[in-house]
Amino acid sequence: MISTKKHIQQLAALLLKKGITDIVISPGSRNAPMINTFSAIPEFSCRNVVDERSAAYFALGLALAKQNPVAIVCTSGTATLNYAPAVAEAFYQNIPLIVLTADRPDYRIDQAESQCIRQEGIYRNFTKKEVSLPLGESEKELWFSARQINECLNLAISGTPGPVHINIPLEEPLHELTDRELPEVKEIGLADTQTILSETGLENLAGSFNRSQKILILAGQLNPNPALENALAGLVEKTGAVVLHEHLSNLSGPQFCGSIDALIAAIPEEKAHDFQPDLLISFGGQFVSKLLRQFLRKNQPTEHWHLSPGGEHFDTCQSLTKVVPMDATTFFESISEAVQSGNDNWLQHWKNKEAHVNRLRDAFLAQTEFSDLKAFDLICREIPANTVVHLGNSSPVRYALVLDRVENALYFCNRGTAGIDGCLSTAVGFANESEKLNTVILGDLSFFYDSNALWNKYIGSNLRIIVIHNGGGNIFSLIKGPGESPAFAEHFFTENTHQAEELARAFGLDYFRAANETELQLALDEFYSPDQHAPALLEVFTDAEVNTRAFRELFKEVK
């Protein structure tokens, strides 16, 4: 039995035509026609997450794991506002969320009606398109509605993918059902196209490439892409170009450079010119390293090309000279064939510096006292190969990127907006679809902020949560500025004395704890044991002052 609402019937039929079958539903009344329809159709895979903020992040993680759009469904009113953080994250991470919000008829807006707010345009700054479907069900209104839905669903995956919003006003009755089949609907297709360089354009770019002696390729946050990695490896081997990446770029070739923060910190000002590129080529999403951004702004290349299928003009390093609106894999495959062979002196210069910095780092880690840094070193050595690692924002992502990658692991983090509000929910959504072991590492404030991520029935035995409990927002001790403020303790660091044990047990997770190196090693042995068949949480207790001292001493050492 499905809803009698014809707009909902059309919507369901078009979602199926487009292959969008994963639906994350938050319960409500105004969205009942969607709930009744989606849950009655076996082709849809419906999941229920009560907290809309967590539900949207859960869907974001699910979309990342499936590499396919996921729809989210909520009732009217403030429920729609709770989607906003994840919608913004999806927009800046280029993840195609299909946001379906139930609404009251427009004649009820601003008329003291319950669960009724101004929903049209509510995510305007963070979606590729927003539409509000007609209320009536005449033939013309249904045609118009179908056209709008087709356009939204196509735009979600075209060019640079991203979220779209379909707002759906619904009148009572909301629970009338029919046993009829979904209607036949016209799908407006999207042609499969690919942007390629013209012969002249390729020659011009290859000429600039060949004239450049020091070529630096900057890979931002990316989903795993073996074809891209192979294209880059081939270009490096042929030309001696340097590829800089972080773990979130999901590149792992030994010919690339990955120890970015420590490497850049180790370049003395008088030697900066030796590492200054002639040509910078950037692609992908955000880069975490602030040191790298500052270095490239101060030591700008002669040319900077940014690769972006959507033509975005990302000028993060304030040196942009050309936008290449095409897929990075296609670009690097094309340019590799067109450019001349070079020597690897520039590449070896970077690789030698990286090797030296890593030796200093490893020597420091071997003797430093127990701290966040030491804990991360131990944890990253014990995370099994060929698994998935989700990093919380603030200090966890920065600690992890100082260390070596886990072998053949996939790395994810909400760096689109870099907020702490949905890190755990995103990881839970991803793990729900993943067959691999998923480890999420986050701080204590992030964990408590997003603990509703565990308030659903989709927590699998492949989930491992590591909470770095340093007593508050330790990131504010690491960066310049907040630590010198009189308001530091109360309003920046925000001391936290709550522990995660009772929450873990309330949600059915096995609980482990460690407060020193020996305890942590023993806990990790059991935490990642093949005999651990339940989802588990490990809480690691560290001292904030020691953390700050160890982190700063590491960078003094590599300098």
Full 3-state SS string of 379-445: HHHHCCCCCEEEECCCHHHHHHHHCCCCCCCEEECCCCCCCCCCHHHHHHHHHHHCCCCEEEEEEHH
Q: What pLDDT is stored for residue 394 in this prediction?
A: 87
pLDDT above 80: residue 475: no
Least confident of 101-110, 329-338, 421-430, 503-512: 101-110
| 58: Cα separation from own chain's centroid | 12
Spell out where 193-302 has E strands.
Answer: 215-219, 242-245, 279-283
pLDDT above 80: residue 466: yes
| Of 436, 441, 434, 427, nearest in space to 379 by CA | 441
Q: What pLDDT is stored for residue 192 in this prediction?
A: 82
CA distances from 296 to 208, 250, 301, 333 (A): 19, 22, 8, 26
pLDDT above 80: residue 222: yes
Give me the mean pLDDT over the 414-421 stretch. 93
Q: Are 386 and 407 in contact (CB under 8 A)?
A: yes
Give me the mean pLDDT over the 262-267 stretch. 93
Q: Report strand pairing: 279-283 vs 215-219.
A: parallel
Give me the mean pLDDT over the 37-43 stretch. 97
Q: What pLDDT is stored for residue 48 in this prediction?
A: 97
Q: What pLDDT is stored for residue 201 in this prediction?
A: 93
pLDDT digits (tens, 9 = 90+) for 288-321: 999 999 999 999 999 999 999 888 898 988 999 9
482 band by pLDDT with thresholds 50, 70 and 90: low
Model pTM score: 0.94
Residue 456 per-residue DSSP state: S
Give me the mean pLDDT over the 393-405 stretch. 93
Q: What pLDDT is stored for residue 117 in this prediction?
A: 87
Give me the mean pLDDT over the 432-442 stretch. 97
pLDDT digits (tens, 9 = 90+) for 164-221: 999 999 999 999 999 999 999 999 998 888 788 899 999 999 999 999 999 999 999 9
d(CA 284, CA 328): 8
d(CA 383, CA 389): 9
541 band by pLDDT with thresholds 50, 70 and 90: very high
The mean pLDDT of the chain is 93
483 band by pLDDT with thresholds 50, 70 and 90: low
| Of 320, 269, 324, nearest in space to 291 by CA | 269
Give me the mean pLDDT over the 532-549 stretch. 94
d(CA 248, CA 246): 5
Domains annotated for the chain, with CATH where assigned, are: 2-173 (3.40.50.970), 202-352 (3.40.50.1220), 368-558 (3.40.50.970)
Give me the mean pLDDT over the 509-538 stretch. 97
Q: What pLDDT is stored for residue 214 in this prediction?
A: 96
Q: What is the CA radius of gyration of the chain?
A: 25
Give me the mean pLDDT over the 75-102 stretch. 97
d(CA 222, CA 253): 15
Which helix H or strand E contains 153, and what residues bound it?
helix 139-157
Q: What pLDDT is stored for residue 346 in this prediction?
A: 95
Q: Report strand pairing: 463-469 vs 536-541.
A: parallel
